[in-house]
A and B are shown apart, each in its own frame.
Chain A
């Protein structure tokens, strides 16, 4: 079936350190999956961080980057230097435009220490 697996949290890093949250996907019923990272900051609703719809392309937002790798079925989230304000829960997700379907991973809690 279709699924998303991501780094189990919590992940704790210090401010200014680099970050990678791993995400791999399985898209057995989706011919051309779209890939997403959503984020939920404390006290706020889930919101889209970045989206990539073409294999081989990179998406970026707020200093975060993720590259759609079809060969390894991965979409890892990276940031070179995290800030305390990046503390949040990050969700990798897989979408099928034709079927209006989005499948989420379990989420990764990120704690950034000052």
Chain B
């Protein structure tokens, strides 16, 4: 069984630039999560989906961040006008129906905003 895949693995931006992160969850997993993990911190939930629906995006900075999962499979997280404070690793995770709190993580995308 293939794991959660993410791309790109690394990104370096200047402040004000935009960037998109892509996630392919484990096949059949209905729930998909995006986390932000600053250096020396634990992962912090940004948004999660059940199928194509957003369940909770209350921690997503909505003025610059957006996330979609149009067909209930792959997902894209986008940052418009990145700031230095967005420097972090962005993790995608998925979980199967009925095991929502057992999450399978991708390798992450390390973002550096200069």
By a beta-carbon cutoff of 8 Å, the part of chain A in contact with chain B is 4, 34, 36, 38, 44-48, 51, 91, 93, 95-97, 99-102, 104-107
By a beta-carbon cutoff of 8 Å, the part of chain B in contact with chain A is 3-4, 31, 33, 40-45, 48, 50, 55-56, 91, 93, 95, 100-108
Are the CB atoms of A96 and B101 closer together than 8 Å? yes
Residues of A within 8 A of B91 (CB): 45-46
In the complex, residue of chain A having the shortest beta-carbon distance to the beta carbon of B50: A100
Residues of B within 8 A of A51 (CB): 102
Name the distance in Å between A57's Cβ and chain B's nearest Cβ: 16
Are the CB atoms of B100 and A100 closer together than 8 Å? yes
Complex Cα distance, B41 from A104, in Å, reads 9
Residues of B within 8 A of A48 (CB): 102-104
A sample of 20 more A-B contacts (CB under 8 A), given A4-B42, A104-B42, A106-B42, is A44-B107, A45-B3, A45-B106, A47-B104, A48-B102, A93-B42, A97-B101, A99-B56, A100-B31, A100-B33, A100-B48, A100-B56, A100-B101, A101-B101, A102-B101, A102-B103, A104-B44, A105-B42, A106-B40, A107-B42
Name the distance in Å between B76's Cβ and chain A's nearest Cβ: 19
Question: Please, could you name 27 A-B residue pairs with CB atoms under 8 Å apart, sorted by A?
Answer: A38-B105, A44-B107, A45-B3, A45-B4, A45-B107, A46-B43, A46-B108, A48-B104, A93-B42, A95-B101, A97-B100, A97-B101, A100-B31, A100-B33, A100-B48, A100-B50, A100-B55, A100-B56, A101-B45, A101-B101, A102-B45, A102-B101, A104-B44, A105-B42, A106-B42, A107-B41, A107-B42
Complex Cα distance, B111 from A36, in Å, reads 27
Name the distance in Å between A33's Cβ and chain B's nearest Cβ: 9
Question: Given the interface contacts A45-B106, A45-B107, A100-B31, does A34 sit within 8 Å of B101 by beta carbon?
Answer: yes
Name the distance in Å between B54's Cβ and chain A's nearest Cβ: 12
In the complex, residue of chain A having the shortest beta-carbon distance to the beta carbon of B93: A46
Residues of A within 8 A of B93 (CB): 46
Complex Cα distance, B105 from A100, in Å, reads 15
Residues of A within 8 A of B103 (CB): 48, 102
